[in-house]
Structure 1
Amino acid sequence: MERKLELYEKKILKDKEFPIQLMVNRCQNKGKYFGVHWHEQIELHYVVRGQTVLRLEQEEMVAGEGALVIVNSNVLHEGYCRGGVMETMVAIFDMEDFSREFADKNIIFCPLISGDDEISRIMLRIHEEYMRKEIGYQLVCKGELLKLVTYLARNDAVEMLSEEDVLKRRKKLERLNTVYQYIENHYTEVISNQELAELVHLSEGRFCHIFKESAGVSPLQYIKEIRLNKAMKLLKKEGFTATEAAEAVGFLDYNNFGRMFRKYFGCTPTEVKKK
């Protein structure tokens, strides 16, 4: 049975009084802590402690304490922890629920902002209110986010997209969704760039350019990373040896698997089993 992988994440923020999704991400183990996806909403990651790495299409954003990463609408993104205690305050919202004026302008914000005292003040207030959850905390958080959106629009807007540009971005993501789904279902097999390009009716060169532009790595490197992450999950399960995990995810050469695993995770498969 094929596994369903939907990169498009449809977020339904039903509460008209509080159309915001808030959460705190905590992690200390090296590796990916949320998978690649995209949606229409804006997503903010403020680093409260430690360091996080967010991959936004082709760019890696390394954000330390006090930094804000902004995931603009219709952008593929995923999160990594490099090890050590990490905590981020996350806010997801639709610009239309905040300001029709800003929504109509299709503003693209600077994706990484560091050392801004005003942003830190606002995001730490939101974090404090969210953690305490005292009466009225949602009103406070909404008010602070409104201040932040206005501040960002005045100081950190880098581009305004036309409706045509917005549609082009969505079409590209929908094409890539087909490719990611195919990889998820066939990652244990030998997959070529040409095979993936034919899925979306593009030349191999054009496909590889679009894929790397969005994912940040080549298609074949992405497949290797998928296999390595799947192998890590198997190693953490009872009953799987390192050799069995390698074979199960499509690696035919165990020595090559071991080298890539260590380079990617910073430890050997055997060390994972011992832990």
Structure 2
Amino acid sequence: MIQRLKSAAIFPDRTFPLECRRHEAHSACGLHSHEFHELVVVLAGHGRHVTDKETYSIEAGDVFLVRGEMAHGYADMDRMTLVNLLFNPRRLGLPLAELRDLPGYHVLFRVEPRLRHTDRFRSRLRLSEEELAEAAGFVYRLQQEMEARRPGYRFVARAQLMELIGFLSRCCARMTGPVQASMVRMGEVLSYIDRHYREPIEVMQLARLAGMSESTLLRMFKRVMGRSPIDHVIRVRVSKAADLLAAGDARVTEAAFECGFSDSNYFSRQFRKVMGQSPREYARLNAGTDRRPVRAPPL
């Protein structure tokens, strides 16, 4: 049976779901899943990363994200040093949406984790010695903040985590291996949608951007996002409109046109389909609050 790690057992402060754990010459860690994300940075040595399907070799410089729903573990850790950054991005209040114009963010958080099994882990990020040293510096400063817990440590620790994620996302965007390059192109497609959601977007132009045939793009997009490119565009538009409605910055029709919908009735139907309620209901319940029960695009 796969163990499910609960947030309450991992984070001492439930209002600040962030932990930085360093493991050196550690015993094997059995299969488990979490209620949060795990960002792994292998600092030295080598070992094995185990999933419920396969086992992969990992070594110094390897970086990968384990999303909460993914079961995994480690073996042969006696010659390996790694850091696990455990965090819940939503509850931590990370503004990761601001990274969505960076293709490498999509690669790190979306594309690589969802293609890991079929690509047999060949598409993971591997840092150079210089990049690993810089990443280790971010990790060290974050660990120091979390251990010392001086006044203001939450602010500084959150900033260190964001800086590390930004740095790793930029590193992902520079990957050049054959398998990795196709992932970066998919990241560019997702980034393009996030930047141009207000404009008309067609599968043909996304395929051209990715350097793929339309059929290849549709197949790969479905594997990564679980939906078609056009369905994803709609969800991004709905998510942006929900932001405007929750902030009280626009009426329903204004939010629809501002976010790329040309028909307010069509917008209302799509909004209800994604969010489970009409735009007016959503605006009435959420306008002027910081609370946002998002069902729009997952991280």
TM range (shorter): 0.3 to 0.5
TM-score by length of 2: 0.43
TM-score by length of 1: 0.47
Name the structure, 1 or 2, with higher relative contact order (CA <8 Å, separation 6+): 1
